[in-house]
Amino acid sequence: MTRVALGFLTCVSCHRADAERDMPTPVPVHCVPVTREAVEVTETLRGRISAPPGGDLPVASQVSGRIASVLVHEGDRIAAGAIVATIDDANTRDALKQADAALLQAKSAAANADATLDRTRQLVARGIAAKQELDDAVSRADQAHASINAASAAADLARRTLGRVQVRSTFDGVVTRVWRGAGAIVDGTAATPIVQLAATTLAEFDADATERQLIGIEAGQAATVALSTGGDPLVGSVRARSTAIDPATGLGLVRIAVESKAPVLLGAFGLATIQSATRPDVLVIPSMALSGAVADAAPVAVCKDGKAELRSIQIGWRDNVRAEVVSGLSQGEHVAVDHVLGLQTGSPIEER
């Protein structure tokens, strides 16, 4: 009888040990409470540094002729007023000489006409000359003085034209392209640009935004831009945003004015964080607690009585750190923030 009892107890112990070995090992997880907080609602957008509208312009000569020299290269940073190219001034100097000569001739003719007018007045006063001769002398003197004005204007134009053979930058910027080199012919209009210049001191960050993101973004909102090239984040504000969505891409444009003491690298990519609103009482969980794609519902693992419970919750605003809980969780409940992809409903867990 004793042997039978001992055998039974041994069998029960074996079954119990087998059952314990079959039980899954609790997964150690971090569980954090669902809390209510005041949050700064932000939107994170990808984009690149660009020149502002009107800050990326071709620089052309105002006079026609042959380019004598180009003094800049692509990538050069130049200041406002710097000479970027010169135009052969031989024809312009000849035109100025001709204008000065014409002006001198007009002045000489006017002096002669004035002398003739004075003599004619004296003769008419003495009754020697007819009144018609005086009228003709007055007319010739007026024409001579008008010729002086015309010749003077032509000389001034030639002198200004000579000053324009030096093509200068109109703002601080960087040369993004050299269109023409020495020896090329320009016609004095924007149709024949010499270089392309982009402003750097007024650069902005242009980013694409979805329809949902555009709804909360307005001009004047504060923003910071972190560039892929590194360095301290750039401080700025929203300058403007699209009022329509591109039907081809489903995106709109957000333009952010950035402030930088040093010129920024045009074309540099980065991330912009825009503070779109402040909400004082929001139910939030860490973004890392979301275990799947966030659409109409997002799955989370709720920590309860030593086990995991998968639950679909409604998510509103979110960023890289926190997510707003619209429904599905209550304040004080705990959610797992690690190993969330491997947890199932009923999975034993050990809270850390």
Residue 17: inside a domain, yes or no?
no
Q: Which among 174, 199, 224 is the end of a domain? A: 199
- Digitized pLDDT (tens) for each residue of the chain, 352 residues in all: 455 444 544 554 555 545 445 557 888 899 999 999 888 888 889 999 887 777 778 889 888 889 999 999 988 888 888 999 999 988 878 888 888 898 899 899 889 988 888 888 888 787 777 888 878 888 888 898 888 899 888 888 888 878 888 899 888 888 888 999 999 999 988 889 999 888 766 778 999 999 888 988 999 999 999 998 888 888 999 999 998 899 999 999 999 998 876 667 778 899 999 988 888 888 999 988 887 666 557 889 999 888 999 988 988 877 778 888 989 999 989 999 887 777 888 889 888 7
Structure tokens at 296: 């109409």
Q: How many domains does the chain have?
A: 4
Residue 227 CB neighbour total at 10 angstroms:
21
Residue 226: inside a domain, yes or no?
yes
Say yes or no: 284 and 307 in one domain: yes
> End-to-end CA distance of the chain, in Å?
49
Say yes or no: 253 and 235 in one domain: yes
Q: What angle (nearest 5°) sits at the alpha carbon of residue 87, between those of residues 81 and 89?
A: 115
Question: Which phi and psi angles does 244 have, rounded to 5°?
Answer: -145, 155
Residue 235: inside a domain, yes or no?
yes
Task: Answer whether 301's CB lies under 8 Å from 291's CB.
Answer: yes
Residue 4: inside a domain, yes or no?
no
59 forms beta bridges with 195
Q: What is the CATH number of the domain that holds 324?
A: 2.40.420.20
Structure tokens at 98: 């001709």
d(CA 25, CA 17): 14
Range of the domain at 143: 90-163
Say yes or no: 172 and 152 in one domain: no
pTM, whole model, 2 decimals? Answer: 0.52
Residue 173: inside a domain, yes or no?
yes
Residue 118: inside a domain, yes or no?
yes
d(CA 108, CA 50): 59
* Alpha helix (H) residue ranges in 82-130: 90-125
Say yes or no: 218 and 115 in one domain: no
Q: What is the CATH number of the domain that holds 152?
A: 1.10.287
Say yes or no: 124 and 192 in one domain: no
